[in-house]
A and B are shown apart, each in its own frame.
Chain A
């Protein structure tokens, strides 16, 4: 049996505002194994982003259990959650979220600087260069993000997500802010990464890109209604 990277059981998320409770997710169960490429699709407001936030420990669930590589991460403190994000999770945002004042190299190196023990300069250099090479952006290492196109920025964001060698890459609408050509390039990069063993979980509303994943989840009103071939809808 392939190693389980992520396991969520009966995860629910309730938002409370002015005495009104909104159930964003209801009893969601997910298992993602090493090397899988999972896509989460669904209409606007179905809970895709909320699910990705919980998967990425950007937010905490209201109930249920969650483990990453067998470690229970359901009730971590903010700082412990940050440490797990740093070690185990790579994030790719729709809006890239690169830091304009830093060079491409420094943007990619950033997660390594948040490690409990700061790696050596040589290690950082080598690792950043490797990741930039993976996304074919080595030649732009000294540029600033605002000197790059949207597609290039997204590839830098992918390199940044990979640099700390995470257990899983969480990708949120990676083509949402890109034209179709740049979108295709980014998706090709992700497909290549998966082919080389990177576990990926991607949220997208684009059916064409969702189809590129080997497992497709579909969310509706906070519940998984379709999974292929490994997931179990509740």
Chain B
């Protein structure tokens, strides 16, 4: 033990003299290992760690897949009665629960917050064995058709909105005019099965009976909703495929009965998809996790090559010290132990920094990646993190110590002393240096190219023109907080007064009683009256001032008029994409389109397409395809408004809340968001991807630059006298720069070839993830990557050289004798 302490004291004393060396190793290994620990923990969580639910192997999500007449997928979403039918059938599942996700305003709360809600049957929390912080979960008394108004809160909502009130179970909350008694608060460690989107946390849970589907929707097999979900525990012995086979006819037959009178659905069918809950929750995040791991491993390898070079240079520097140690009796093992003490100390310091950075990484991921990666809220240090930390510390300490002592020829150490340090001494061989350069270039090329490809796609989406303006426009959606719904006649004067008062606000430039183009779309089944061809475009009801406010150009025909809205005329405006679907030449003015009712709609105008980020046509994943859209005039009782404020001015949610309650106390603000914010939010994934890949690419460049500089600088230093001799016999700076570049070109070219090999290996192992990126558009990325890597290499060639070639030749020759 004393020997160990002594060795480490000596190692520390030796290292202390080289603060620059310590700092470089600490920062390089600390940052990269921090990223590694963070990503390893994430991968374990996503790929290995079981969900915290009992019997999770039997937990499956059932989905309703609508198949069109040509066997194409039309949509994956339930109809309300279809979902209830499946739930009640109890087929294949031992326990099952249905859920409807939504949002609502807690009107009884002083700040009237908009919260995420879920209407569920009691089995959900029983299946998940949800831990409770206080109170109880839903039980039989809250089952379907019991109409018992109770609610459960999430832990965060209890803490944030109710200040963690101890008497929360004695309180009531009012949503949409219904007063719910709070019966329980979920525990902090409850992990929600996020089926309605990654990162969506349900804040208030209510019984299924209170879901917001209207009476018509509850009966119609023709309406689908993406917010309806089914989760169940399969019966013992029933497999996934057996469940699909059992459920498909059960659901399809009932659906066919339900739509028998709807011509639109002729030839359609339903297939049930049964998927493990973990797979649904993880989505395609597995590929993100694997790609992140591959990227970080690349970073670690680059860092490892950099640090190897530093350790080898340090060993060369310590040659004389080691020779003295050998002369006084140190064996080869002693020298290795001394080196291990140094590498061990450095790796220990690096791993401490790495753990700190990993913790910061967890925080950053939880704050910013919540909508991209599932389960990030569960990220924390676990035995895998610590185990990985110990493993990498030991492995890297041993590797660097072994590498350093490997280059020492123990027998020739005596010669070092005899020659009093003269001669070339111990050096990192040219071959090793060339291997290090080639590996740096290969790894940097692969990583930079991968990051560039992701960055390019993200930037393309972010910068794509949307085709309408969002400047100074906010969307206001009203909330009606009562079960006493007004009739259409009662609502019209209320909305007219609200509109009038909104227009009278000094900050407001104009009002359009319409939803925002970023909101309110639904898919509608339409039929061409003449050809009987069926279509499923997106549809929105808008006012006559809608297109003018968002500056979406009308390219043909007429806009809606106020009269169209007042009289609810059957007129329709379509966008260019839908016009082309209807008729190849796009000339569709006057065409009659049925929306299911007795009187068809007449197309009176065509507007330019808009491009809402990440929107694709129904049943297609092609982001470049034009999305068919249809607009109809909305009624004057619409509760959605676009508010355009004067430049530099703003209206607060509180101000609007007061305005509404002055008109009618039953109305409050449901949501009031700037269109720019909604747009930015819809681009969250792309923005996060762009930032992450740009940071990673920069980090790779930085590390590769440092590494190449280190290796080339060392090589140039070794060639100092040679440079001096060449200068003495007439070599100009140009000659010498060309020589150094040409000498390293071979290694750089080998590096580029190595990157192709790495790509090929990656393609073999990860073809499903890489295939979508392989097209001609990657060619400029390849060129850009190669050019940038070459620039980094040229810089690393020139920079260490300049200290010799920009001084008189004697500077390089001094000491050569």
Contact = CB atoms under 8 A, between A and B. Distances in A.
Contacts of B730: 82-83, 85-87, 111, 114-115, 164
Interface in A45-62: 53, 56-60
A205 to B, nearest CB: 12
B813 A78 contact: no
A94 B732 contact: no
A161 B728 CA distance: 10
Interface string A93-135: 1110111000000000011001100000000000000000000
Nearest to B724: A97
Contact of B808 (A78, A87, A111, A114): A78
A173 to B, nearest CB: 7
Contacts of A91: 728-729
A59 B726 CA distance: 15
A180 B726 CA distance: 28
A176 B422 CA distance: 15
A28 to B, nearest CB: 16
Q: Is the interface of B mostly helix, strand, loop or mixed?
A: helix
A49 to B, nearest CB: 9
A160 interface: yes
B718 to A, nearest CB: 11
A78 B729 contact: no
Contact of B728 (A60, A78, A85, A87): A85
A161 B808 CA distance: 19
Nearest to A52: B810
Given A79-B733, A114-B732, A94 B810 contact: no
Interface string B148-159: 000000000000
A65 interface: no
Nearest to A54: B810
A111 B729 contact: yes
Contacts of A78: 732-733, 805-808
B431 interface: no
Given A58-B808, A59-B810, A110-B726, A97 B721 contact: yes
Contact of B813 (A79, A97, A160, A173): A97
A173 B817 contact: yes
Contacts of B322: none
B90 to A, nearest CB: 83
Contacts of A99: 722, 725-726
Contacts of B807: 78
A111 B732 CA distance: 11
A114 B729 CA distance: 8
Interface residues of B, number: 23
A185 interface: no
B728 A177 contact: no
Given A99-B722, A99-B725, A58 B810 contact: yes
Contacts of A60: 808
B735 interface: yes
Nearest to A102: B722
Interface in B704-738: 721-722, 724-735
Contacts of A110: 726, 729
A103 B46 CA distance: 60
A104 to B, nearest CB: 15
Contacts of A160: 729
Interface string B798-817: 00000001111110010011
Nearest to B721: A97
B816 A82 contact: no
A111 B725 CA distance: 10
A177 B730 CA distance: 24
A39 B611 CA distance: 86
A59 to B, nearest CB: 4
A196 B817 CA distance: 29
B734 A79 contact: yes
Given A53-B810, A58-B808, A58-B809, A176 B732 contact: no
A126 B816 CA distance: 31
A77 B813 CA distance: 18
B808 A176 contact: no
Contacts of B808: 53, 58-60, 78, 81
A56 B728 contact: yes
A101 B805 CA distance: 21
A172 B814 CA distance: 13
Contacts of A59: 808-810
Given A58-B808, A86-B729, 13 more contacts: A58-B727, A58-B809, A58-B813, A78-B732, A78-B805, A78-B808, A79-B734, A93-B813, A97-B728, A99-B722, A99-B725, A164-B729, A164-B730
Interface of A: 53, 56-60, 78-79, 81-83, 85-87, 91, 93-95, 97-99, 110-111, 114-115, 160-161, 164, 172-173, 176-177
Interface of B: 721-722, 724-735, 805-810, 813, 816-817
7 contacts: A78-B807, A78-B808, A79-B732, A82-B731, A83-B730, A97-B722, A99-B722
